């Protein structure tokens, strides 16, 4: 299964994007879609307006990033499955920091 097939399966399951993003999904739907694990989540109260969650479907080795926009007065908004979801992959990067001596 590839990313497009998996995303279509998620959309066809009847789960909303918000439910998928926040992992508010029943066991039955998880069995239908396939098991996943949330690898990373960022955003929400005190963390700025960008919100995202990265989910890993180990059976297919597919990572899906769900992106949204957070506001304190409305919570997180999403633009729809096709705009909010994207296939991503883990990448290691070397980062240099400069600290006081």
pTM value?
0.86
Residue 65 lies in a domain: yes
Range of the domain at 40: 3-88
Residue 96 lies in a domain: no
Residue 97 lies in a domain: no
pLDDT at 48 exceeding the cut of 80: no
Classified as helix, coil or strand, 87 is strand
Residue 41 lies in a domain: yes
* Mean of pLDDT over the chain: 91
Residue 94 lies in a domain: no
Are 35 and 57 in contact by the 8 Å Cβ rule? The answer is yes
pLDDT in tens, 2-40: 999 999 999 999 999 999 999 888 888 888 888 999 999
Buried-exposed string 13-49: b where 16+ CB fall within 10 A, e elsewhere: bebebeebbbeebeeeeeeebeebeeeebebeeeeee
The number of distinct structural domains making up the chain is 1
Enter the DSSP assignment of 32.
Answer: H
Residue 35 lies in a domain: yes
């Amino acid at each position: 299964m590839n990313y497009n097939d998996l995303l279509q399966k998620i959309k066809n399951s009847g789960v909303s994007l918000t439910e998928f993003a926040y992992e508010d999904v029943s066991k039955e739907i998880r069995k239908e879609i396939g098991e996943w694990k949330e690898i990373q989540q960022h955003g929400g109260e005190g963390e700025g307006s960008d919100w995202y969650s990265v989910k890993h479907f180990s059976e297919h080795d597919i990572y899906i990033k769900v992106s949204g926009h957070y506001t304190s007065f409305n919570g997180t908004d999403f633009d729809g499955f096709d705009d909010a979801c994207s296939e991503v992959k883990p990448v290691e990067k070397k980062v240099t920091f400069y600290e006081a001596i």
